[in-house]
Amino acid sequence: MGKNIAYLGLGVMGGPMARHLAAAGHTLTVYNRTAEKAVAWVAAHGGRAAPTPAAAATGADVVIACVGADADLEAVTLGPDGAFAAMAPGALFIDHTTVSAAIARRLATEGETRGLHVVDAPVSGGQAGAENGKLTIMVGGSEAAFAAAEPVMQAYAQRIGHMGPAGSGQLTKMVNQLCIAGILQGLSEGLALGLKAGLDMDAVVDVISKGAAQSWQMDNRAKTMTRGQFDFGFAVDWMRKDLGLALDEARRLGVPLPMGALVDQFYADVQSMGGARQDTSSLIRRLAR
């Protein structure tokens, strides 16, 4: 049976995810900080637009957020017009924002006092994954909250994993982003060497992608990296935010992350080169000049 769902945040990820929910038969009330975007979404997909997170959450079985950062998430949940105050006991809150583990745990604790189910559920797969309903979702929260959230998230996921208690989803996303950063730096260096040596890089990628060097980034980005094409969704600005979260958590835990810190600074170089909104494969721009 379809649920009444409030969706908060209709950016490049949230908009498509909300669309998949509507297509799955749920009734959507949407909120976006830029109200015109919510109005346009409703015109295209149905449902209704609400002026505040609290208005969207009133009467909702499920409230889902996909906003920008910790402060944005706090505003739409616990702010003066936040969703939590309007949610009824037993309702479910799903957060798809990539944020700190600290705020994920805070929202879980706050939700528990209000009788809410809360999960932190950051996603991987980028804009294409959201558009195609093929996201990987890493979930933190109680067993009961995960059981309530999983059927809802299946509308736009190809893989959903319960990673542990509150905050575990966000911690898993930090691991994910560090791994991506390292792979992209290695790929950038290898491709830059091949380009400088005058190799046929399409031929190089075709060969090495069949061996131990193979990765998703190589399969999907290597050839476009050699052509200087960097318009594939997940932006450098967002990666720096995510790496910042991972580095902050590592400092708290006393874990050295020399590669993560170095690649974060390399992405700062790309930002200074005008690449803030280019996708993360633009890391090669520092090398292939």
Dist. CA 115–CA 84, nearest whole Å = 10
**Is the alpha carbon torsion for 4, 18, 93, 65 positive or negative?**
negative
Tell me if residue 173 is catalytic. Answer: yes
Mean pLDDT of the chain: 97
Tell me the percentage of the chain whose pLDDT exceeds 70. 100
Q: Which of 128, 122, 217 is nearest to 173 (CA)?
A: 122
- The angle at the Cα of 130, spanning 127 to 134, to the nearest 5 degrees, equals 120
Question: pLDDT tens, 150-192?
Answer: 999 999 999 999 999 999 999 999 999 999 999 999 999 999 9
- The angle at the Cα of 183, spanning 181 to 184, to the nearest 5 degrees, equals 65
* φ and ψ of 99, to 5 deg: -140, -175
DSSP letter string, 75-126: HHHHSTT-SGGGPPTT-EEEE-S---HHHHHHHHHHHHHTT-EEEE--EESH
Q: Are 230 and 281 in contact (CB under 8 A)?
A: yes
CB-neighbour burial class of residue 145 (10 A; exposed 0-12, middle 13-18, buried 19+) = buried
Which residues, including other chains, have CB under 8 Å from residue 143's CB and lie 6 or more apart? 162
Active-site entry in 3, 37, 134, 173? 173
For residues 128-146, give the mean pLDDT: 97
For residues 61-76, give the mean pLDDT: 98
**pLDDT at residue 289 greater than cutoff 80:** no
Residue type for position 99: V
pLDDT-based confidence at 97, cuts 50/70/90? Answer: very high
